[in-house]
């Protein structure tokens, strides 16, 4: 079986998203790029029964190479993102806060410094029917210079150099959306960080890692 480890990683990621309430039913999808091939979650297969053999392997033109089931209906979206960004992995979810916020805004302002993790204000891609080239183009444009975006009337997407990195950003994106919704609910103006404050936050995050204390 081609890419057995990566296909199992896709399965594990799908199950984790379901366990965390980031998807409903068989919604959402996950993929990993491996050179000219993409390992992608299958379409309409329940996460609780999904196996590595079910996961599809396609080329960059969408031709299926291996896998029991057809790839996700969002295959055009995944391929478009890979062709236009340096992403190595993609997660797409229908989490409640990010989906809800995408109904009422066109962009999330930098109201929390976590926005620096995504490259700045998080854009909302205009709605288009799932699985279409139009949606793929809209989301790809929203991801320009960003590591995450919302999809109007649909959900959210994160990208990263690998699947662990893309998955790690999901709870942060959902948190940003949740606090933005709560702030908007008050009816008061939402405070936004300045460019200088965001630059400082971005710089700080680059060195925000566990460091052992020096021993005397």
Residues noted as catalytic: 74
- Are 52 and 69 in contact, with CB atoms under 8 Å apart? no
Q: How far is CA 79 from CA 16, 109, 133, 209, in A?
A: 23, 28, 10, 32
- Whole-number Å distance between alpha carbons of 8 and 170: 19
**201: region left, alpha or beta (phi > 0 left; psi from -120 to 50 alpha):** alpha
Question: Residue 139 burial by CB count (10 A; 0-12/13-18/19+): exposed, middle or buried?
Answer: buried
- Report the distance separating Cα 54 and Cα 67, nearest Å: 5
Give the residue carrying structure tokens 């930098």: 110
Alpha-carbon span 175 to 182, nearest angstrom = 11
HSE-up of residue 26 (Cα within 13 Å, Cβ side): 12
């Amino acid at each position: 079986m081609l890419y057995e480890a990566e296909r199992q990683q896709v399965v594990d990621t799908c199950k984790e998203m379901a366990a965390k309430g980031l998807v409903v039913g068989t919604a959402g999808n996950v993929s990993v790029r491996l050179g000219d091939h993409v390992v992608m979650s299958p379409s309409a297969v329940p996460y609780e029964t999904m196996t590595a053999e079910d996961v599809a392997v396609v080329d960059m033109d969408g031709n299926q190479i291996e896998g029991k089931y057809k790839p996700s209906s969002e295959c055009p979206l995944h391929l478009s993102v890979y062709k236009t960004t340096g992403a190595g992995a993609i997660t797409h979810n229908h989490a409640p806060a990010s989906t809800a916020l995408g109904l009422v805004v066109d962009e999330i302002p930098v109201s929390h410094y976590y926005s620096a993790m995504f490259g700045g204000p998080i854009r909302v891609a205009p709605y288009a029917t799932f699985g279409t080239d139009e949606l793929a183009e809209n989301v790809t444009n929203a991801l320009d210079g960003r590591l995450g975006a919302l999809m109007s009337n649909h959900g959210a997407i994160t990208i990263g150099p690998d699947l662990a990195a893309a998955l790690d950003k999901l709870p942060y994106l959902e948190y940003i959306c949740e606090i933005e919704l709560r702030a908007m609910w008050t009816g008061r103006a939402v405070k936004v960080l300045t460019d200088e404050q965001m630059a400082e936050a971005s710089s700080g995050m680059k060195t925000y890692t566990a460091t052992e204390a020096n021993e005397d």
